[in-house]
Amino acid sequence: MSTVTFADIEAAAGRLEGLAVKTPLIESPALNARLGARVLLKPETLQHAGAFKFRGAMNRISQLSAEERARGVVACSSGNHAQGVALVARMLGAPAVIVMPADAPAMKVANTRGYGAEVIHYDRYSEDRDAITREISATRGMTIVWPFDDPDIVAGQGTVGLELVGQAKDLGATLDVVLTPVGGGGLAAGVSTAVKHLSPGAKVYGVEPSAFDDTARSMVSGHREKIDPAARSICDALQSPAPGAITFPINQRTLDAVLTVTDGQVAEAVRYAYTTLKLVVEPGGIVGLAALLAGELDVSGQTVGVVLSGGNIDPALFSRILAGEL
């Protein structure tokens, strides 16, 4: 089974130099006072295409041969990976096809098309997106860029953790705790690998929506658990059907635990980020902060890093959350 080393993440950082945004760390006195901790927020909302996914997509696609780029790439995603792949493909001159669920946020679909990609819809509750993606790859000769279960993708996402630890050090801080969202596990695997290498004493927690707690349950059972097809959540970015075959073994080794949050707790965090932190963060991107605000983890007296993984929230959903309807 393929794995990812810190050296892989360092190599990815080299490929991303000058291409990806080195997103800053943001600190809020109000948030620190509320939690009794020093909280350093890593807003990947400011990354190209509005989410961390650009990092993995660039690390993967930039390594394709000229012939492979000419044939193009195909990916499956509910939105953030879709946009990241579409943007990178445009930057590198490669055609792109993105397989997206029919109920994906309209803004994410529009942005993906805006970057020049062809979008093919499927029903996430009755169709197999991976099978559709493989068929397109076979018939069109396109390279598949998987959303999380690929070592190059994980290594690219791991640059978030590499930057986080280095930026905290520049602020005179040593991280005690790091929280990162978990969907298929690529971001968590990359971040935790980097953090554990650079700051071995830090605890790293993944955070999932309570309705999509496959990684949390998998950590307990020791094998990859699946999600109930009937599950629903406002966290569209974290609705993978199961942990990845590559990402789960990494997360088993490197995550200290996986926390879960309800949609209500997520909505409250989205409101808090907007009203207090002046940040627009999508539901799936804010689960780490949601866990802290809800008291799911006591971090009093500690220095905490929180990855805010994306800011591509549908305007209609954002309005409903701000109005207190969710």
What whole-number distance in Å separates Cα of residue 104 and Cα of residue 185? 20
Q: What angle separates helix 151-170 from helix 53-61, to the nearest 10 degrees?
A: 130
Q: What angle separates helix 6-16 from helix 151-170, to the nearest 10 degrees?
A: 80
Tally of CB atoms within 10 A around 6: 16
Catalytic residue among 137, 210, 233, 309: 309
Q: Strand locations in 80-165, DSSP E?
A: 96-101, 118-122, 143-144
Catalytic residue among 42, 53, 196, 203: 53
What whole-number distance in Å separates Cα of residue 308 and Cα of residue 281? 7
* 113, two tokens: 């098309």
What whole-number distance in Å separates Cα of residue 319 and Cα of residue 322? 5
Burial class (CB in 10 A: 0-12, 13-18, 19+), 93: exposed
Is 42 part of the annotated catalytic residue set?
Answer: no
DSSP letter (8 states) at residue 57: H
* 302, two tokens: 């500690």
DSSP letter (8 states) at residue 14: H
Nearest to 189 by CA among 230, 139, 249: 249
What whole-number distance in Å separates Cα of residue 138 and Cα of residue 140? 6
C-alpha pair distances (Å), 320 with each of 148, 265, 268, 270: 30, 14, 12, 11
Is 53 part of the annotated catalytic residue set?
Answer: yes
* 129, two tokens: 């997106």
Catalytic positions: 53, 309
